[in-house]
Structure 1
């Protein structure tokens, strides 16, 4: 898929950051429908690849330096209609905090069993499968 969806809107790159048996979730100040808790994410800028955008957005939103490991998958999001990519990341440095107070209200590290309390609908299947493997119950 390209870097834009059918309407020409930039693609969104999400970072699935796992550290010490937990995954990083952020809560946006403005929710997109039922999407309040989600992975750090943002628009892919011109000339940027998806994995780079996921790393950059994580740093901008949470102050955390992460390293992209692999692209998990991509889809058109069923709620927003935006082209989404999901990149598995590991922490390379820093301490997670709400760095972008305009965008984020809070963040949390959650265990696999706790995800459904924050995200009450099914995760994108390849993301769920990735988390099932790296965050063994």
Structure 2
């Protein structure tokens, strides 16, 4: 799984994902499955565009981990916003897309589940 942390000034891009469990929906960073033979770097940029219509450029690889909730290996990337208006262009998977101030992200995603290098991005000054 490729997970994209897109920054635009003091904001980060979040998607509200439909979930099959009792919780219903969850806020998270744009993400997509890496196809066999595919590259995580390409997947992260493509999936962000497909889900949100936001064009972004890879800034750096933040690392990887087994996701604590799913057990799936996730590759995290920090990306820079290039162009596009955040739009929910994948209504089958998501209910909403929006920009959130860095310091407000913990209101949407539990700090306890955020990958530590992503937390460091949230704490950076713009």
By the TM > 0.5 criterion, same fold?
Answer: yes
- Cα separation, partners in 2 of 1:132 and 1:69, compared to 1, 3 Å: same
SS at match of 1:113: helix
SS at match of 1:97: coil
Q: Structure 2: where are the runs of 5+ without partners?
A: none
The superposition leaves residues 92-123 of structure 1 with CA deviations (integer Å, 9 ceiling, x where unpaired) of: 22211001111110012111221111012321
Whether 2:115 is the aligned partner of 1:124: answer: yes
**Which residue number corresponds to residue 21 of structure 1?**
10
**Which residue number corresponds to residue 49 of structure 2?**
59
Q: Decide which of 13, 19, 22 is 1:30's aligned counterpart.
A: 19
- Cα separation, partners in 2 of 1:32 and 1:75, compared to 1, 3 Å: farther
Matches within 5 A, 1:1-137: 12-30=1-19, 36-122=26-112, 123-133=114-124, 136=125
Q: Structure 1: where are the runs of 5+ without partners?
A: 1-11
SS at match of 2:92: coil
8 A Cα contact 1:61 1:100, kept in partner: yes
Shift of residue 73, structure 1, vs aligned partner: 0.9
Aligned length: 124
SS at match of 1:23: strand
SS at match of 1:126: helix
RMSD of aligned alpha carbons? 1.8
Distance 1:128 1:33 in 2: 27
The superposition leaves residues 58-100 of structure 1 with CA deviations (integer Å, 9 ceiling, x where unpaired) of: 0110011111111011000011000001100011222110011
SS at match of 1:61: helix
